[in-house]
Structure 1
Amino acid sequence: MKTAFLRLNDTLYSACIWVAGLSVLTMSLIIPWGIFARYVLGTGSSWPEPVAILLMVVFTFVGAAASYRAGAHMAVAMVTDRLPAGLRSAAARLVQLLMLGVCVFMTYYGTKLCMTTWNQFLASLPTVRVGMTYAPIPIGGVLTLIFVLERLLLGDQSTRKVVCFDLVEDSEGAA
Structure 2
Amino acid sequence: MSQRYSDLMDKVYLLAMIVAGLSLLVMTIIIPIGIFSRYVLNRGESWPEPVAIICMVTFTFIGAAVSYRAGSHIAVNMLTDRLPQAIQRLCARTVDLLMLLISLVMFYYSFYLCADLWEQPVAEFPILTSGQTYLPLPVGAILLILFVVERLLFGSQENRPIVLLGNHG
TM-score with structure 2 setting the length: 0.92
Separation in structure 1 between the aligned mates of residue 87 and residue 4 of structure 2, nearest angstrom: 32
User: Could you tell me how far 1:25 is from its partner in structure 2?
Assistant: 0.7
User: Could you tell me how far 1:107 is from its partner in structure 2?
Assistant: 1.1
Name stretches of at least 5 consecutive residues in structure 1 with no aligned partner: 164-175
Question: Counterpart of 1:121?
Answer: 121
Separation in structure 2 between the aligned mates of residue 136 and residue 92 of structure 1, nearest angstrom: 27
Query: What is the identity, as a one-letter code, of the residue corresponding to 1:152?
Result: L
Q: Does 1:103 align with 2:103?
A: yes
User: Could you tell me how far 1:41 is from its partner in structure 2?
Assistant: 2.2
Question: 1:143-166: CA deviations, max 9, x gaps?
Answer: 011000110011101012129xxx
Greater Cα radius of gyration, structure 1 or 2: 1
User: Could you tell me how far 1:36 is from its partner in structure 2?
Assistant: 1.8
State the percentage of identical aligned residues. 52
Separation in structure 1 between the aligned mates of residue 97 and residue 118 of structure 2, nearest angstrom: 31
Q: Secondary structure at the match of 1:114?
A: helix
Task: Pick which of 29-38 and 15-24 moved more.
Answer: 29-38
User: Could you tell me how far 1:15 is from its partner in structure 2?
Assistant: 0.7
Question: Which runs of at least 4 in structure 1 moved beyond 6 Å after TM superposition?
Answer: none
Q: Secondary structure at the match of 1:69?
A: helix
Query: What is the identity, as a one-letter code, of the residue corresponding to 2:13?
Result: Y
Separation in structure 2 between the aligned mates of residue 145 and residue 128 of structure 1, nearest angstrom: 27
User: Could you tell me how far 1:119 is from its partner in structure 2?
Assistant: 1.6
Separation in structure 1 between the aligned mates of residue 37 and residue 113 of structure 2, nearest angstrom: 34
Instruction: Give the root-mean-square deviation of aligned CA atoms.
Output: 1.3
Question: Counterpart of 2:153?
Answer: 153
Question: Counterpart of 2:166?
Answer: none
Query: What is the identity, as a one-letter code, of the residue corresponding to 1:98?
Result: L
After TM superposition, the structure 1 = structure 2 runs for residues 3-22 of structure 1, keeping only pairs within 5 Å, are: 3-22=3-22
Name stretches of at least 5 consecutive residues in structure 2 with no aligned partner: 164-169
Query: What is the identity, as a one-letter code, of the residue corresponding to 2:27?
Result: M
Question: 1:56-115: CA deviations, max 9, x gaps?
Answer: 000000000000000000111122112222111111110000001011111111101111
User: Could you tell me how far 1:127 is from its partner in structure 2?
Assistant: 2.6
Number of paired residues?
163
Query: What is the identity, as a one-letter code, of the residue corresponding to 1:94?
Result: T
